[in-house]
Structure 1
């Protein structure tokens, strides 16, 4: 898989990243550590070298699973993790970073990201200048190689950029959730900030495997995903029906088509989660699909069946 440069840093990433929220187990149902380990390893062996995790995913459990899986190939992979919104004061960031380094069994983190802006989920409002100051300090120490933000608006990225170099933005972004295109993407293009799209398959909706009437376990975070509710879900089914012939023409799955479309968008890379090894391998193959300009436009229009009738701003879940 041809690597790309992360923002203005020296970090090289794979255009498809392995997402490991599910490896933390919390807010997911039926996840087994043995499956997570096999899946992350399969992703690496298929060419996905960049692994995205966070301290809040199972209170460090996801980070520990990543380390257990990849410590023997640490020099060949890139670790991206995140500090949560309740740990953004100077000393809290230092302590959170040390915990993540310990969990990941490494002495450096390739990309360290602010998971949510200060104040999210009723967390304390900490000036971004303070948080950026400590991130710059960690970068100077060599404990982190690049600084990123997640779930930030354009306005918040502009403010953070006053105090240091932001190399990436991690927003929710898929064919069915496209707010970033009109908000932060133009600024990211102009300032060479990489976009690391999370939920690039709309939490599995773009795989086509969730048909009408599907019910999630109440403990599954997707039960509260706005895309799976009522008219949004019905429109998604209409769009999927129009995407199927294009996928068939490329001899690929709907999921692979959605990932292939996403990674040709400006500055954009896709963080794809997987529960099982075959899913991780399939995600990696999406990087090989070559879409024509006409097909990219056609897929774009099909996605708007969902997004043109849906307020895809704010948080994806009704939490």
Structure 2
């Protein structure tokens, strides 16, 4: 597996593994996960040279970090473990965002324990808290770095002003935000800003929540309780329009004798050496398919066709519902 850098110092595999589908997020996300297969998927990822593993406190909550902790036990030194904080929840469920310094520290201590590690390699603010100055949040993250509990600091779905202010407070190694063939708006302002400041970029949902794999050809392919049935881009009015992009991805995949997923991931990798996508997987088969994208070389013509088929703002429907959309780019 090729290596890339996030920021100036953090070296990771060119593709990381998004662990969210593996455990603790419920069957309504990407179907039920089998713990044994999830652990085998982590094993296989390490065998393939994947070093970046991404989880979060809120996945479960807590259960996903515990699973990752089991999966990496005894092999921690070779890996880069990323997790996130920034929400508050109780027995009744999600209660909103919370990036107060006290919650930053509480979350860090809990994540260290659940992951079974002494230091978090990359600690992200999961979503910006509009009620807490980013200087206060990142200031507490910086103290955790000084204490040896965190190595590098990251943000997720932050807006340009927040990114600048955060980076002025403490160097930001990586920004994690949605980026894929069907979500390219970060190219307008956010990605250029990250490059100006020397911040690495970690695209989540690089396969459009499964849409860009070409495996979902109808809403009927989704279980009745799958949350994507409420995703605006999977809706009745937008689904067929968005399939037109997938047809182009499939056509290019056929010319290379590769999968559509590999083409979508390779497109991202070709967008810059500072980009490290984290496709999610809970099964070895999908993991192996995704990781094969690291050695797929797309031609200039391939890239032009994909760019033309997926212009910025060209995907039908917003990427989130209204409530979640309000939590992005703050």
* TM-score, structure 2 normalization: 0.89
CA distance in 2, matches of 1:15, 1:26: 26
- Structure with the higher fraction of residues in strand conformation: 2
Q: What secondary structure, in the 3-state scheme, does the structure 1 residue paired with 2:57 have?
A: coil
Residues 1:114 and 2:125 aligned together? yes
Q: How far did residue 299 of structure 1 move?
A: 1.2
Structure 1, gaps ≥5 residues long: 120-124
| Match 1:228 to one of 234, 245, 263 | 234
Residues 1:274 and 2:281 aligned together? yes
Q: How does 1:83-162 map to 2 (within 5 A)?
A: 83-85=85-87, 86-119=97-130, 125-162=131-168
Label 1:205 to 1:311 Cα distance change in 2 as closer, same or farther (>3 A).
Answer: closer
Deviations 1:47-82 (A, max 9, x none): 211000000000111111111111121111110100
> What is the match of residue 284 of structure 1?
291
Q: What secondary structure, in the 3-state scheme, does the structure 2 residue paired with 1:271 have?
A: coil
> What is the match of residue 5 of structure 1?
5
Please, what is the CA RMSD of the aligned residues?
1.9
Off by >4 Å, runs of 4+ in structure 1? 316-319
Q: Is the 8 A contact 2:23 2:63 kept in 1?
A: yes
CA distance in 2, matches of 1:174, 1:81: 21
Q: What secondary structure, in the 3-state scheme, does the structure 1 residue paired with 2:215 have?
A: coil
Q: Is the 8 A contact 1:153 1:183 kept in 2?
A: no
State how many pairs are aligned.
Answer: 311
Q: Is the 8 A contact 1:215 1:223 kept in 2?
A: no
Deviations 1:73-106 (A, max 9, x none): 1111110100124341112211110100001100
> What is the match of residue 256 of structure 1?
262
Deviations 1:188-228 (A, max 9, x none): 11111111000000010001111134253454332222221
Q: Is the 8 A contact 2:86 2:127 kept in 1?
A: yes
CA distance in 2, matches of 1:183, 1:156: 13
CA distance in 2, matches of 1:54, 1:274: 15
CA distance in 2, matches of 1:131, 1:24: 28
Q: How far did residue 159 of structure 1 move?
A: 2.2
Structure 2, gaps ≥5 residues long: 88-96, 325-330
CA distance in 2, matches of 1:218, 1:172: 25
Q: Indicate the larger mover: 126-135 or 241-250.
A: 241-250
